[in-house]
Amino acid sequence: LAKTTQPISMDSYEGQEVNITCSHNNIATNDYITWYQQFPSQGPRFIIQGYKTKVTNEVASLFIPADRKSSTLSLPRVSLSDTAVYYCLVGDGPKWNAGNMLTFGGGTRLMVKP
């Protein structure tokens, strides 16, 4: 399973765009990149997933360069409620024959200030 590296923490202000980059140098051909968000005292929640180029949904955008060795989660115009921990995962999902453990790293703690 590809190892990921993220910044431990980031600070931002309301209304700003926040970009969190994740490094995954050993990403495999079949691997997808998935980001989760976790608020205090809650379980992680899926934000966005992508394989290559750019993916956008109502919450965020995910930018993946051609070599796929990194990815950037972009949160437009953050608010105080975006204060959370953001996890980057790389893998192709669990499979019958290999199990394929899904593991989380330490994540990035985003603090949005007024």
Q: Which residues bind other proteins (CB under 8 A)?
A: 31-34, 36, 41-46, 49, 51, 85, 87, 91-96, 99-107
Pairing state between β 9-13 and 108-113: parallel
Beta carbon nearer to other proteins, 20 or 85: 85
Closest C-alpha among 25, 34, 10, 9 to residue 87 = 34
**Closest distance of CB 36 from other proteins, Å:** 8
Shortest gap between Cβ of 104 and other proteins (angstroms)? 4
Encoding tokens for residue 32? 């997808």
Nearer to other proteins, 69 or 95 (CB): 95
As measured in angstroms, the least distance from the Cβ of 59 to other proteins is: 13
* Residue number with CB closer to other proteins (15 or 93): 93
Structure tokens at 114: 């007024």
CA dist 40 → 34, 63, 80, 85, 107 (Å): 20, 26, 13, 8, 13
**Helix, strand, or coil (residue 81):** helix
Q: How far is the CB of 3 from other proteins (least distance, A)?
A: 13
